Chain A
Amino acid sequence: MNNWKILLISLIILSGIAFPACSSGPNVDWNLKISGAVTKSLDLKYQDLVKLPQTDLKEILMDKSIGEDETGSWSGVKLDDLLKQAGASTDFTTITATAADGYAIEITRDELKDAIIALKQNGDWIQKSDPEHGPLRLVCPQTPANRWVFQLTEIQINK
Chain B
Amino acid sequence: MKTKGYFALAGLLILALISACQPAWAIIIESERGNVLFDKSDFEKYKKEFTNTEICPGLPLNYILYRSSIEVVESATFKDTAGNKEELDWQKSGEKVCLDEKGKISLGNRKLPSNSIKIDEAPAGDELFSILDIAPTVLSALGIGYENLPGKTLVEGQFDHVALIFLDGFGYIKYHQALENGLLKNLSQGVAAEKAVTVYPPRTSVASAAILTGLPPTENGIYETGIRKTEAATIFDLTSSSGLKSIAVEGESLAFNLRNTEVILSGDRDLNGSTDDNVFSNAEDVIKTNMPDLLWIHFHGIDDSGHSFGPDSEQVNRKIIEIDSYYGKIINMLPENTLTIAFADHGMHLVNEEGRVGNHGNLIYDDMVIPVFVETK
Contacts and interface: CB of A to CB of B under 8 A. Distances in A.
Q: Which residue among B225, B259, B265 has the maximum number of chain A CB atoms within 10 Å of its CB? A: B265
B267 A108 contact: yes
A148 B7 CA distance: 55
A102 B259 contact: yes
A66 B267 contact: no
Contacts of B229: 101-102
B269 A105 contact: no
A131 to B, nearest CB: 16
B254 A104 contact: yes
B257 A108 contact: no
Interface in B238-260: 252-254, 257-259
Contacts of A108: 267-269, 271
A158 B268 CA distance: 12
A104 B225 contact: no
Contacts of B265: 96, 104-106
A77 B75 CA distance: 53
B269 A103 contact: no
Nearest to A99: B228
A54 to B, nearest CB: 28
A93 B225 CA distance: 29
B228 A103 contact: yes
A66 B227 CA distance: 13
A102 B226 CA distance: 13
A101 to B, nearest CB: 6
A107 B267 CA distance: 7
> What is the size category of the interface that chain A forms with chain B?
10 to 19
Contacts of A158: 267, 269
Contacts of A24: none
A145 to B, nearest CB: 12
Nearest to A144: B355
A94 B267 contact: yes
Contact of B267 (A65, A67, A106): A106
A32 B252 CA distance: 21
Nearest to A106: B267
Nearest to A68: B54
Given A101-B228, A104-B263, A110 B252 contact: no
Given A93-B269, A101-B228, A107 B252 contact: yes
A146 interface: yes
B340 interface: no
B220 interface: no
A93 B265 CA distance: 13
B254 A94 contact: no
B254 A105 contact: yes
Contacts of B208: none
Nearest to A109: B271
Nearest to A94: B267
Contacts of A106: 252-253, 265-267, 269
B278 to A, nearest CB: 9
Contacts of B271: 108, 110
B54 A103 contact: no
B53 to A, nearest CB: 11
A103 B254 contact: yes
Contacts of A66: 54, 225-226
B234 to A, nearest CB: 12
A85 to B, nearest CB: 23
Contacts of A105: 252-254, 265, 267
Interface in A111-159: 146, 158
A130 B254 CA distance: 23
B276 to A, nearest CB: 14
Nearest to B267: A106
Contacts of B253: 103-106, 146
Given A107-B267, A158-B269, 19 more contacts: A66-B54, A66-B225, A96-B265, A101-B228, A101-B257, A102-B229, A102-B254, A102-B258, A103-B228, A103-B253, A104-B254, A104-B265, A105-B253, A105-B267, A106-B265, A106-B266, A106-B267, A106-B269, A108-B269
14 contacts: A65-B225, A67-B54, A93-B267, A93-B269, A101-B228, A101-B229, A102-B254, A103-B257, A106-B252, A106-B253, A106-B266, A108-B267, A158-B267, A158-B269
